[in-house]
Amino acid sequence: MSTEPVLSPIAQNFFSPFTHGFVRVAVAVPDVKVADPVFNAERTLALARRAADDHAQVCLFPELGISSYTCDDLFHQDALLDAVRTALDSLRDASSDISCVLVVGAPLRFENRVYNCAVVLHRGAILGVVPKSYLPNYREFYEKRYFASARDAGMGEVSLLGATVPFGTDLVFTADDIPGFALHAEICEDVWTPVPPSTFAALNGATVLCNLSASNITIGKAEWRKTLCAGHSGRCVAAYLYSAAGAGESTTDLAWDGHALIYENGDLLAESERFADGERLIVSDIDLERLTNERTRLSSFTDSAHDFGDRKVRRISIHLDLPEATDIPLRRRVERFPFVPTNAAVRDERCYEAYNIQVAGLTKRLQSSRIQKIVIGVSGGLDSTHALIVAAKTMDKLGLPRENILAYTMPGFATTEKTKTNAHDLMNALGVTAKEIDIRPSCLQMLKDLDHPFHGGEPVYDITFENVQAGERTSHLFRLANFNNGLVLGTGDLSELALGWCTYGVGDHMSHYNVNASVPKTLIQYLIRWVIGTNQFGDAASGTLLSIVETEISPELVPHGETETNKTEPAQSTEAKIGPYPLQDFHLYYTTRFGFRPSKVAFLCWTAWHDAHDGGFPDGYPEAKRVSYDLPTVKRWLREFLWRFFQTSQFKRSCVPNSPKVGSGGSLSPRGDWRAPSDGESAPWIAELVASVPDGDG
């Protein structure tokens, strides 16, 4: 009998994006000739083959691409309409060996009316025809002169090229081998209306919305297109594919930029170069599981679907035959730091918002409580540093002196000179009331009362030894708050709360109000860098803040051994114990924000981190930390995360102080984003990880 572990189907195809709920889509902008369907169909076929060779399951083309958009009154010429059908017939036959769904534009006449249509083809068959609903008839547009609207069509089927095919705006094309795949097509002006037809399709399950567009270019129009597509994809919680006409369309009165776009739930995944020479083809992978999971959570989406339940759709099922190759890389950027944007301008805006959300939260709490003093412990580490600078800005906003911040550094048995000095330097630079309390005497008294071996001189540094120090610090802070009529400001961050890296009831876990509980460690590092970069508190404070950001993350609870020579840095490394924060913040984001299974989280993390030379690091990120993580490392630390998050630490999150929510993926408050039993099991998550993630990089 074999003793080899049985790998799940996911593990056997782990490195393929199609294993993890992705579908590959393409948007094409071919060259066209005005009123030359034969040429246009040939260029459509050539780009369709390129898309299929790139493993795309969908390829979208522009509006009226088989004829060209700018035919004007030629749309009422029999010769052109006949040539379109002939070219469409040739395209249908020639595409029989192409695996992807083609969505092409063509003028088609049915029952004495010409319709501006999207024709959906797959493997030599026409699956359906979608007529345009909204015909613009203003300024440069005269479509009602040539076409009938979908609203004027009374038939649900048409005869086309010898076959009876579905006809209407209510067609949704689903794939029996791709869960969550449901495609809908609309045409240009449809998305510029208050309620696009694709809205009803999305409410009925469509996840991939296609827009065949011509859309001539004028100054500023491209940004408005992007705004429309981003907003509509976000509102519909869907992918939105957009293809605008390009080279070859008539420039008698208009010009064309060939703008191709792919959005997913408001996020831009791919965009073509505009005004480029030659044809364009953009490709990206859509995360169908992200879309379906998001819709599952959004109760208002379900309510809206119920309100418009009378707008039914017709579903047409197809089989797409996903590629079996496992060496197909994911075609989309996965940010290494989901909480920290790589783009500098976006990151600065994110930091500005996060910082001011924290300040606004603390401001309101002080105003409502009538308390004018803040008590805070300052260790010289990241979390207490950031809480302190939030407190300083809050005092400035309230018009209160910074001396009302009673800041205490409380050295213990393992406090290093570096962190202690940084704490004093920062408190002095900010102008707060700075004091030092040595907690070692009170800790020794408690250790003596406990009959702990350390009190007798033995170097026993167990959990009790560590927690006595955390408890003493918290006890002092709360009594100091009583004595000074102040508010104890919490410092614990989101990453520590997720991993349970805090002592229950004391330390970073408990306070009167916490400004950091919704901010992960990776973002705190950049918030401090943003404070430095914007010089919020002057050069002296900025210099100390930089030193703090560059210090090894440590709880500083265990002292150095007698034989250790470098005692300027902490003896403990937090990340050596619980995992690198960049990885654990990544795992946190995709586990809680989207509810992905562990194997998908591992796949995304490996994609983002397996090649340090692939870029994607925010500027200013230390070169020494720009490292790669292989799949075994990702799997190891993801297992640690799952065990800590689901098995051992929820009881700490069930009892946390008030704190403002900062990001969409960043709150574990039981009163907000995360309600979970304190006695749940981690077994399903760890079992899926073990069975579905290989032990090597493939």
Q: Are 606 and 634 within 8 A, CB to CB?
A: yes
Residue 489 phi, psi (nearest 5): -95, 120
Polymer length of the chain: 698
Q: What distance in Å separates the CA atoms of residue 669 and residue 661, rounded to the nearest whole number? A: 9
Q: What distance in Å separates the CA atoms of residue 201 and residue 169, rounded to the nearest whole number? A: 9
Q: Are 105 and 212 within 8 A, CB to CB?
A: yes
At position 344, the amino acid (one-letter code) is A
Q: What distance in Å separates the CA atoms of residue 140 and residue 136, rounded to the nearest whole number? A: 9
Q: What's the Cα-to-Cα distance from 272 to each of 37, 66, 143, rounded to whole Å? A: 24, 21, 27
Q: What distance in Å separates the CA atoms of residue 348 and residue 530, rounded to the nearest whole number? A: 7
Q: Which residues contact 683 (CB under 8 A, 6 or more apart)?
A: none
Q: What distance in Å separates the CA atoms of residue 469 and residue 452, rounded to the nearest whole number? A: 13
Q: What distance in Å separates the CA atoms of residue 148 and residue 114, rounded to the nearest whole number? A: 6
Residue 281 phi, psi (nearest 5): -145, 115
**Annotated catalytic sites, by residue?**
63, 132, 188
Our measurement of the distance from residue 75's CA atom to the centroid of its chain's CA atoms, rounded to an integer in Å, reads 44
- CA neighbor of 637 nearest in space, from 527, 495, 503: 495
Q: Are 4 and 687 within 8 A, CB to CB?
A: no
At position 555, the amino acid (one-letter code) is P
Residue 396 phi, psi (nearest 5): -60, -40
Our measurement of the distance from residue 145's CA atom to the centroid of its chain's CA atoms, rounded to an integer in Å, reads 44
At position 404, the amino acid (one-letter code) is N
Q: Are 518 and 604 within 8 A, CB to CB?
A: no
- CA neighbor of 549 nearest in space, from 405, 410, 426: 426
Show the 3-state SS of 145-156. HCCECHHHCCCC
Q: What distance in Å separates the CA atoms of residue 187 and residue 430, rounded to the nearest whole number? A: 59
